Amino acid sequence: MNILVVLSIILFSAGCEKLVDHGYYLTVQNNTNDTVWCYSSYKYPDTSLSESKPLLQMIRPESYTRLDSKDKWEDVLPKDTIIVFIFSKDTVDAYSWEDVRTEYNVLKRYDLSISDLEAMNWTIIYP
């Protein structure tokens, strides 16, 4: 019975992929005293905001969030550039996404290539 358990563990372990090989992320650091929201787009050179409200990530004051990818960024970004939008929490809370989008109420937009991100050590610092 013990041999069966040991063999099962070995077989299941051999079939697992290393998690380290699949963790690709970039950090967005909020160096302000205000909470902000962010989201990323892979649609470069189209810098318009998406028509439907995307999943926004909150970044509290003096904190950070991570934008993750299971694949290398080089393989994910069709034009070698990621767009990261930063929004005021107050604006997102007070207005509909349609208003935010049509008025382009963006605090900051970053258009960054893979080489830009590498030079920044995969960390975007706002502001």
pLDDT of residue 23: 77
Give the alpha-carbon dihedral of 26, 36, 50, 24, to 10 degrees: 10
Strand partners, 109: 85
In this structure, which topology does domain 18-126 adopt according to CATH?
A: Immunoglobulin-like (2.60.40)
Query: How far is CA 103 from each of CA 85, 91, 97, 122, 126, rounded to the nearest angstrom?
Result: 14, 11, 10, 30, 21
Q: What is the pTM of this model?
A: 0.80
What tens-digit pLDDT sequence spans the chain (127 residues)? 666 555 556 656 555 545 445 579 999 999 999 999 999 999 999 999 999 999 999 999 999 999 998 889 889 898 999 999 999 999 999 999 999 999 999 999 999 999 999 999 999 999 9
Where do the structural domains in the chain lie, given as residue ranges? Answer: 18-126
